[in-house]
Amino acid sequence: MSTVHILEHPLLQHKLTYLRDKNTGVNLFRELVGEIAMLMCYEATRNLPTEEIEVETPMAVAKCRVLAGKKLAIVPILRAGLGMVDGMINLIPSAKVGHIGLYRDPQTHCPVEYYCKMPPDISERTIIVVDPMLATGGSASAAIQFLKGYGCKNISLMNIIAAPEGVARIQNDHPDVEIFVAAVDEKLNENAYIIPGLGDAGDRIFGTK
Ligand code: PRP
Ligand code: URA
How would you write 116-177 as a 3-class SS string? EECCCCHHHCEEEEECCEECCCHHHHHHHHHHHHCCCCCEEEEEEEECHHHHHHHHHHCCCC
Q: Is the CB of 194 under 6 A from ligand 2?
A: yes
CB 100 within 8 A of CB 146: yes
Q: Ligand 1: residues whose CB is within 6 Å?
A: 77, 79-80, 103-104, 109, 111, 131-140, 166, 192, 200-202
Predicted confidence band of residue 50 (pLDDT cuts 50, 70, 90): very high
Distance 152 CA to ligand 1 centre (A): 22
The ligand 2 atom nearest the CA atom of 195: 6
Q: Residue 167: its pLDDT value, please?
A: 98
Distance 145 CA to ligand 2 centre (A): 20
Q: Residue 37: its pLDDT value, please?
A: 98
pLDDT in tens, 87-104: 999 999 999 999 999 988
The verdict on whether 203 is a catalytic residue reads yes
Distance 18 CA to ligand 1 centre (A): 20
Distance 165 CA to ligand 2 centre (A): 13
Residue 6 has pLDDT above 90, yes or no: yes
3-state SS assignment for residue 14: helix
Cα 68 to Cα 64: distance, rounded to the nearest angstrom: 12
The verdict on whether 108 is a catalytic residue reads yes
195: which residues sit within 8 A by CB, 6+ positions away? 185, 186, 187, 188, 189
Predicted confidence band of residue 55 (pLDDT cuts 50, 70, 90): very high
- Look up residue 162 and give its amino acid: A
Catalytic residue among 108, 121, 176, 208: 108
Closest ligand relative to 186 C-alpha = 2
In this structure, what DSSP letter does residue 4 have? E
Q: Is the pTM of this model over 0.85?
A: yes
Mutate to test the pocket of ligand 1, among 85, 139, 171 (most ligand atoms within 8 A of CB): 139
Structural Rg of the chain based on CA atoms: 18
